[in-house]
A and B are shown apart, each in its own frame.
Chain A
Amino acid sequence: MNTCYFQRVKPQHTICSRSLNLVRKVLVVASVYLVFGLLFQYVYADINDSTEQGADSPYQSQHGSVWLKPDYGTTPDADSTTRQNIYIEALQMQTDVDINITGAIARATVRQMFINSSEYWAEGIYVFPLPERAAVDRFRMRIGERIIEGRVKERVEAKKIYQQAKAAGKKASLIEQQRPNVFTTSLANIAPGEQITVEFEYQQVLEYRDERYRLRFPMVVGPRYNPDLHQTGADKANTALQKYVSPLPDQTSVYTQTDETDNDNNPTRIHILLDAGVSLAELDSSYHQIDIKQTSENRYSISTMGESIKADRDFELVWKPELIDKPQLSVFEQEIDGDHYTMLTVLPSDLGHLQQKVQARDVIFVLDISGSMAGTSIDQAKASLITALDGLSSIDRFNIIWFNHESGSLFPGAVIASAQYKNIARHYIDNLQADGGTEMLGALKLALSKQETFSRFRQVVFLTDGNISNEVELFKVIDDQLGNNRLFTIGIGSAPNSYFMRKAANKGRGTFTYIGDVNEVHEKTVALFKKLENPALINIQLDLNTSQDDHNTYEMFPNIIPDLYAGETATILIKGKNLPDSIDIRGDYGNTEWHSSITAAQLLQGKTSAENMSRDGSRDGIRVAWAREKVASLMSLRHESTADNVRDAIKQEITSTALQHHLVSRFTSLVAVDVTPVNISELLYQQRMKNNLPHGWKRANAGNGNTMMAQMRLAQTATGSELKLLLGLLFFIAALSLYRVPCIRRAYADHTKTIHGLIS
């Protein structure tokens, strides 16, 4: 009996535990191997990564700073080890700026001196910013006493001319527009020890904001242009510099080399002559010390203090003309080659006066709460909506519309912005959750619904990060239902369909705000909401009355005059074969209608003032301003179209306008070439001029605050799947190891039982 039990139990126990043990062992070993393997790889990768960050890595290509390299060919197959890269700091720069301001037009002459202190022939390339909508129309190269004027050419052709001249050893220089406000000058064949000056002129219609004119001379191209890495400190940069092998053959795209050290790379001197035309309430420089001399009643001479200033922050001159309590209209006129160019400036009344005549408005907030908004975007959007609620006065009305794949609104229609309703709205905003897909149509229909009273001035603010694909339908809704609405679109992140948003805002007579960095959502939307609080002059209409039958020959920019908000001006540029008999302009401010009319006599007076302006160096300022405005409006039209043939047609028109008016544009450049070859046999060394790091900027946060150029952020490109796998396996092992316990215990119990049985 006992033996029998023993014989029956023992083999079963052995088979059970052996096979179980084997399986268990295999599993444990495999899991341990996997877990440790993954862990090790993770740690190893970390170590690896920290060594990769060292300067030796060829990946660390873009480490800023200056370099000068022999201008060898860099074909993809070229063996990088055979290239002897020499890094010498050879070229220095110095910039002189003279600016003449007449009324709202500034004409600047910029002289960039390239100084080659090395013993090699060199080519310098300098990337620099200019004000938005600067019209560069003159370019020349000074070699000793000689001046070589630049000619306007199509961009590709200009580059070719420059290339050929460079290859032939001639002195050549080129100015190109890379972005609306970023330009490059290149200067080839600078002899050892030589100084060459390139000189260009640009004109700009000054910005008027917060009741002040602002002249900005930008001096830094932020490191956002510069694909710099996480290394900090000059030492690292220097080592990186010495061992740097260029992996990218294309070194001519627009990015700058910023200097990590505190050197002054581009000493700059600025001198300004200001003829304000009216008496000034204020005149000051925002960031630099200046020396002001009043030369006559409304004329001033302004210079930067000392020998030069460091180009590490923008120069800004601000002046405030004395305003009166009604909108004002000023006019300038010029006749060039049988064409009349007219510039009208509408100056609304001052803010203090305006606040007594507040324009009641309806504000409709439309918020995207689709899943992609989750996180920072929705949090910041909610916070800015709450700030916007505070800005609503008791005569305003508002509503909140949300959408994801569905849409809905807080109130059935806009309600008075009373404290009670605002509280409800705050609570409502707090409870919005980001989830679901993106379908904008329903929300747009809700926002522009015809059931709402149309007599009121309505601002619809659309905030989304989504990709919109049914544009045609959406545009139709906007066209059909716009009425008294103004559409302000805000696009967040890298995904928004800028084409749609920009065009929608244009159709909707509002603005498009692009926010690339989700962390800037609050700041930028609040700035927009603040502006929207004070409409100063709306529904502006301009009529050109003429007895002649040439009404259609007038070309006016902008075509639709935007609403003016407090502290803004509108500048309208008109070209025509004849002067109109009179110009009527009307608009609403507060609850009053404003109307002003300019007669031919006043236009002629405008001509005299324009002639005064010309004498001060602006020559044909209004023509240039008109041409630049035309190019800008065509460029934005081109942005809005997707059909290739339309884009090509617009490109053609831009090119011909720019060629005719001698302007640098996206498709035209100015090029100057000396006739005599000077560098016959020497190799040419190329240097990208370095820019100073903007004042107060540190490497770590260099990504903030500069949105001048199209930049691409990199996406988040890993999932947690490996971590999940690792955790899953860890839990599995833990479970297995615990599972052993009862099994052993049972085995032990069986064993003792057996022994007991044996003994008994």
Chain B
Amino acid sequence: MKDCFQKHLRILSTVVIVILFSLSLWQLASAGWIQGKAMVAQQLLNHSWQLTIDDQANTHNSHRPWPWADTWPVAKLRVPQHGIEQIVLAGDSGSSLAFGPGLSFAGATPDSGGITMISGHRDTHFNFLKDLKINDRIYLQTRAGGVQYHVESFQIVDSETFRLPNDSDDRSLVLVTCYPFEAATAGGSLRYLVRASPIAQPPIPAKNIDQRLPGTGSGLTAE
């Protein structure tokens, strides 16, 4: 009787253990899959980015990293201080962000007027945003050329109500990721915004209107 009970208990616990282990394996594997995809894709993207910049004549048919891809590389983002080198993809939909940071279609590109907005997942590519400090340098290379930015400010916003106004006189780079960085669940509405201004090309005058140095009265403008 006792043996029978123990035998059943043993079978039951083995079944439960197997189930729990496979659940555990499944969750860990899918976590690994997300992280792995994010890392491996960047390698593939590097290749297609190289093709993209080599092929200057082709303006619209960009080189897709794999044939069925919904997206293609548009820029390379470098933050040497934090050892970051990433290929930026076209579009910031979920299907692009799984593979790399995405450039918003709603925004501008660095060589045209307007805000360049790049989003990335906080737990993969854009985890480094939390380490950025004011005046850190960011380099963004596009087919048109490279732009150097310096980090200017940080901001936390609620994506449900916040909309980034896109003024074509403003040539800032805005990096977006989810906030808080440590949250375990996805889908929160808070976003962490890093705003960086171009250094290489001086900001166009519109940015500098209304800047007068303190104490000098009316004589001086900082154009």
Seen from chain A, the residues whose Cβ lies within 8 Å of a Cβ on chain B are 38-39, 41-42, 44-46, 48-49, 52, 57, 59-62, 70-77, 83, 123, 156, 159-160, 162-164, 166-169, 178, 224-230, 247-255, 370-372, 405, 436-438, 465-467, 469-472, 493-498, 516, 642-643, 677, 679-684, 686, 699-700, 702-703, 709-732, 734-735, 738-739, 741-742, 745
Contact = CB atoms under 8 A, between A and B. Distances in A.
Nearest to A647: B112
Given A437-B70, A469-B62, A711-B106, 14 more contacts: A44-B182, A72-B214, A681-B217, A711-B164, A712-B106, A713-B163, A718-B123, A718-B187, A721-B30, A727-B23, A728-B25, A728-B28, A730-B24, A745-B10
Contact of A370 (B70, B152, B191): B70
Given A495-B91, A719-B124, A250 B222 contact: no
B27 to A, nearest CB: 3
Contacts of B61: 469-470, 472
Given A45-B180, A73-B212, A715 B97 contact: yes
B162 A371 contact: no
Interface string B165-199: 11101101000111111111111111101010100
B153 A680 contact: no
Nearest to B220: A167
A267 to B, nearest CB: 26
A76 B135 contact: yes
Interface of B: 6, 9-10, 13-14, 16-17, 20-21, 23-31, 34-35, 59-62, 68-72, 90-95, 97-98, 102, 104-107, 114-115, 117, 119-124, 126, 134-135, 150, 152-167, 169-170, 172, 176-191, 193, 195, 197, 204-207, 209-214, 217-223
Contact of A227 (B28, B157, B178): B157
A254 B167 contact: yes
Contact of A738 (B16, B30, B126, B184): B16
Contacts of B161: 228-230, 699-700, 702-703
Nearest to B20: A735
A42 B186 CA distance: 11
Contacts of A495: 91-93, 105
A717 B180 contact: no
Contacts of A729: 24, 28
A227 B176 contact: no
Contacts of A164: 221
A41 B106 contact: no
Contacts of A719: 34, 98, 121, 123-124, 186
Contact of B13 (A52, A251, A717, A742): A742
Nearest to A76: B152
B54 to A, nearest CB: 18
Nearest to B23: A731
A164 B161 CA distance: 38
Contacts of B24: 728-732, 735
A465 B92 CA distance: 12
Given A682-B218, A714-B162, A163 B68 contact: no
B2 to A, nearest CB: 11
A159 B205 contact: yes
Given A49-B179, A76-B135, A742-B13, A683 B186 contact: no
Contact of A714 (B26, B27, B157, B221): B157
Given A42-B183, A228-B161, A684-B218, A714 B209 contact: no
A419 to B, nearest CB: 38
B159 A714 contact: yes
Specify which of B35, B92, B154, B205 lies most central, judged by the most chain A CB atoms within 10 Å of its CB: B92
Contacts of B105: 467, 494-498
Contacts of B104: 494, 712, 715
Contacts of B177: 717-718
Contacts of B28: 724-725, 728-729, 732
Contact of A72 (B59, B185, B213): B213
B20 A738 contact: yes
19 contacts: A42-B185, A46-B180, A71-B212, A72-B212, A252-B210, A253-B167, A467-B71, A710-B106, A710-B114, A714-B157, A714-B193, A718-B178, A723-B184, A724-B27, A724-B34, A725-B28, A727-B27, A728-B31, A745-B10
A715 B172 contact: no
Nearest to B129: A717
A467 B70 contact: yes
A471 B205 contact: no
B70 A372 contact: yes
Nearest to B165: A255
B161 to A, nearest CB: 5
Nearest to A49: B180
B119 to A, nearest CB: 4
A336 B130 CA distance: 63
B21 A76 contact: no
Contact of A718 (B35, B114, B160, B186): B186
A732 B153 contact: no
A59 B70 contact: no
Contacts of A83: 214
